[in-house]
Each structure stands twice: as C-alpha cells, then as structure tokens.
Amino acid sequence: MDDATARKQLEKMLADLDRSIGVLQGDPVAIREHSAADAGSDLTDADRAQAMLTVATAQRRAVIEALKRVDEGTYGRCVDCGKPVPEGRLEARPEAARCVECQGRQERRR
Ligand SMILES: [Zn+2]
C-alpha cells in the first residue's frame, strides 16, 4: 500500500473515530437520562459506552501514530523489528504498527 492510499484510509478512520468519540463522549443524552431516571440499575449502558470510548480512544491514538509514520516515511515498517509489515495486514488494519510476530509478542506480554 503506498503512502497516499494509507494516509487517505487513516484520515478516514480518524474522522470516523472522532465522530464516534464525539457521540460517546459529548452527547450521550439517552444514556444520561436513562441513568438519571434509574440510577444504579442502569450502569451497564454507561459502562458499555465507556468501554467503547476506551477502545475508540486507543484506536484513535494508533491511527495518529500511523499518520505520523506516514509523515516520517516509516509507514509500513514494524516499529519493533523494522521489517515490512505484510500488505494484507495493513489492508485489514491500516493503523497496525507491528508485524504479526512482534504484535504477538506484545500481546503475550500484557
Ligand atoms: Zn516486527
């Protein structure tokens, strides 16, 4: 995947994530009203929104990092070992920072 395509995809992802984060964070009126009406028993909706927000925020960070790598000309290379990240992986996850091996290592460490 060339840098221009990668950038376009990443920018689109970023816009989508910003929108999701905005909805989750800025205007969860339905969630808030619901919770206020029935405080205590309705934590699940708020919890779910919070969990989605956490995921979206982490992904947004990954996308921004990836855009930075496009700027630096290192996009498509694993941030750990420097080997090229397979094309198929980048197509599935344009924000991927690591090759499959290093990502596996990273996840096992958690
Ligand atoms: Zn690697």
Report CA(13)–ligand 1 centroid distance (Å). Answer: 23
DSSP 84: B
Greater pLDDT, 20 or 39:
20
Phi, psi of 82 (to 5 degrees): 80, 0
Rg for the chain, CA atoms, rounded:
18
Handedness of CA 50, 55, 59, 20 (dihedral sign): negative
pTM exceeds 0.75 for this model: yes
pLDDT in tens, 37-76: 555 555 687 788 889 999 999 999 999 999 999 999 999 9
Report CA(110)–ligand 1 centroid distance (Å). Answer: 17
CA–chain centroid gap for 88, Å, is: 18
Report CA(28)–ligand 1 centroid distance (Å). Answer: 39
